[in-house]
Copies of this chain bind each other. A is one copy, B any other.
Amino acid sequence: MKRPAGSRGEYAKTAQRRQDILRTAVEVFTERGYEASSFREIAARVGMSETGVAFHFGGKAALLAAVLEIRGEQDAARWGGGGVIAPDRLTELVAHNAGQPGMVQLFTKLAAEGTSKNSRAHPFFTDRYDKIRRGTADHVRASQRDGRTRADLDPDLVAQVLIAVMDGLQVQWLYDESLDMAAAMDLLLSTWLPPHTPGPVTA
């Protein structure tokens, strides 16, 4: 509670530093994955010491958290509803992700590392999967009420499968970028949703 910002340029400079570090961290994490990334390299690229970087974020794990948030915000901005995506737009999502392999790989690696309960990424992904699973199931239920989706399918299981396909296709694609994720996703959607309804969504 000392100096609410604005009186001098110091805070702005700090914010700029944070932005620089964050951008660089995304870069390095993307290239090397979380575990293999070093504070040293990030610091070197930003042009400051390791402890300098640590000062701004408090540690490697905290830097990770910040990166995850960034991506979350970007996604939430692109598609509405807190990262939850309507099944109709999953193909669109897949196509978009195919344009940024680095970020896809980062998330794939972090999601795997986060399966350890003592991992820093664990709470984030636990919460994330919980949310998007619930949100996707809601979408499916709504779609079933409208008659756009087969009514005999368990919405919760459909949500699990859709998210699983999403994640799983990305892994395979990271190993072989010639694979057509969108086509595979479309195949699945076309059997559960009507042949094609990317139609005019309200949002």
Q: Which residues of A contact B (CB under 8 A)?
A: 32-33, 35-36, 105, 108-109, 111-116, 122, 125-126, 129-130, 133, 153-154, 157-158, 160-161, 163-169, 171-172, 174-176, 179-180, 183-184, 187-188, 191-192
- Evaluate whether A115 and B161 lie within 8 angstroms (CB atoms) in the complex, with A166-B168, A187-B154, A191-B192 already known: no
Chain B proximity of A102: nearest CB distance (Å): 11
- CB pair A174–B105 under 8 Å, yes or no, is no
Chain B proximity of A33: nearest CB distance (Å): 6
- CB pair B175–A129 under 8 Å, yes or no, is yes
Q: CB < 8 Å: which of B36, B154, B164, B180 contacts A164?
A: B164
Complex Cα distance, B158 from A187, in Å, reads: 8
Residues of B within 8 Å of A188, CB to CB, are 161, 188
Residues of B within 8 Å of A113, CB to CB, are 33, 35, 109, 112
